[in-house]
């Protein structure tokens, strides 16, 4: 079947010394972080198939560093926002070994526009300041609100690319920069 491409993706990058962050004020909500390397199996708001898969990949040493983590903003047991931080691995061949990538950003529909994504990214920046060469952010070219969000942090637009789909499967595809700005 071969490789099928996805819609265009924008690649953004901020170097470790450019990271802007401030401890978020969440007005009664809780910001939590789960790191498989130190916290074990996902529980509570982190319980679920996706995080179990991340836990297994971490345990199988699929990443060059043990910094995979998930940030969650929640109201008790109710997940309102999620953000995944992954080290370099085969899906991100453009990254250096000590880079990180922000992904799987999701906010509950009724909570969008309230600054939850900004709060989670601030927390990542504070937690990883001085511990990474760069942080990457990939976003579909038509996701204007996500583009505005990451540009508000000073991330640099690096170029465009695609997400490959070997045998029609997005889950095993790579993100490839096809047009770089320099």
Q: What is the pLDDT of residue 16?
A: 86
pTM of this structure: 0.91
Measure the CA–CA gap between 38 and 54, rounded to whole angstroms: 13
Measure the CA–CA gap between 71 and 123, rounded to whole angstroms: 8
Residue position matching structure tokens 């942080």: 135
Question: Concatenated DSSP letters for the chain?
Answer: --EE--S-EEEEEEEGGG----PPP-TT-EEEEE-HHHH-S--GGG-SHHHHHHHHHHHTT-SSSS--EEEEEEETTEEEEEEEEEE--TT-TTS-TT-EEEEEEEE-GGGTTSSHHHHHHHHHHHHHTTS-SEEEEEEETT-HHHHHHHHHTTPEEEEEEEE-EETT-GGG--EEEEEE--
Measure the CA–CA gap between 82 and 124, rounded to whole angstroms: 12
- Say which CATH number the domain at 160 has: 3.40.630.30
Q: 130 lies in which domain range?
A: 3-180
Measure the CA–CA gap between 139 and 163, rounded to whole angstroms: 11
Q: What is the pLDDT of residue 4?
A: 42
Q: What is the sign, positive or negative, of the torsion defined by CA atoms of 61, 164, 99, 120?
A: negative
Divide the 182 residues of the chain into consecutive groups of 10 and give the mean pLDDT of each group.
62 89 84 96 96 95 93 96 96 94 96 94 93 95 95 96 88 86 68
Measure the CA–CA gap between 126 and 140, rounded to whole angstroms: 26
Measure the CA–CA gap between 169 and 51, rounded to whole angstroms: 19
How many domains are there within the chain? 1
Strands 69-75 and 156-163: unpaired
């Amino acid at each position: 079947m071969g490789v099928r491409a996805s819609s265009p993706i924008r690649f953004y990058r901020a170097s470790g010394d450019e990271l802007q962050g401030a401890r978020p004020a969440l007005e009664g909500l809780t910001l939590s972080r789960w790191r498989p390397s130190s916290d074990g199996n996902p529980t509570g708001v982190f319980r679920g198939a996706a995080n179990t898969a991340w836990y297994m990949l971490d345990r199988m040493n699929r990443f060059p560093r043990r910094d995979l983590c998930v940030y969650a903003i929640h109201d008790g047991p109710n997940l309102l926002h999620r953000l995944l931080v992954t080290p370099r691995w085969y899906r991100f061949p453009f990254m250096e070994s000590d880079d990180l990538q922000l992904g799987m950003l999701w906010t509950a529909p009724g909570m969008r526009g309230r600054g939850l994504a900004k709060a989670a990214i601030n927390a990542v920046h504070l937690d990883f300041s001085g511990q990474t060469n760069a942080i990457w952010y990939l976003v579909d070219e038509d996701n204007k609100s996500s583009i505005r969000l990451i540009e508000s942090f000073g991330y640099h637009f690096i170029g465009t690319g695609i997400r490959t789909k070997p045998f029609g499967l997005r889950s095993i595809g790579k993100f490839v920069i096809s047009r770089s700005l320099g």
